[in-house]
Amino acid sequence: MTATTPTTTDRYVSFCGLDCDGDARRMMLHLDAAMAQGASKWRDYFRKKLAEKTKMGVDDLFFVGAQVNCLRAYLEEAADGPGLALLDQLEETCC
């Protein structure tokens, strides 16, 4: 392959070996625990979005990908380092 030959990446192959569903589930459990710990303007927002998630029947990874910016704002507000690290990992490797 020369330097001018474009490379193609099959994103489905590139996800091999990653536990995106498991990481997304851990993020959802983390969100649930964080919401139970204290008051925040984000609690009502996420309650509404989680109800919509259930109604639409989307999976956890879809939810995390769709809510990544709001999740980040919530976790930053809470100064939740572990939650932010997990979100960064999910966003970089799975979303």
pLDDT at 4 over 80: no
**Cα 74 to Cα 43: distance, rounded to the nearest angstrom:** 9
46: pLDDT strictly greater than 60: yes
Which residue, among 59, 55, 87, has the nearest Cα to 74 in the 3D structure?
A: 87
Spell out the residues 6+ positions from residue 38 whose beta carbon is closer than 8 angstroms to its own. Answer: 78
Q: Domain spans of the chain?
A: 18-93
Tell me the longest C-alpha to C-alpha distance in the chain. Answer: 56
Does residue 55 surpass a pLDDT of 70? yes
pTM of the model: 0.80
Predicted confidence (pLDDT) at residue 71 exceeds the cutoff of 60: yes
What pLDDT, on a 0 to 100 scale, did the predictor assign at position 8?
A: 56
The residue behind tokens 């649930």 is 32
Q: Is the dihedral of CA 45, 90, 95, 26 positive or negative?
A: negative
Q: Return the structure tokens found at 14.
A: 């590139």
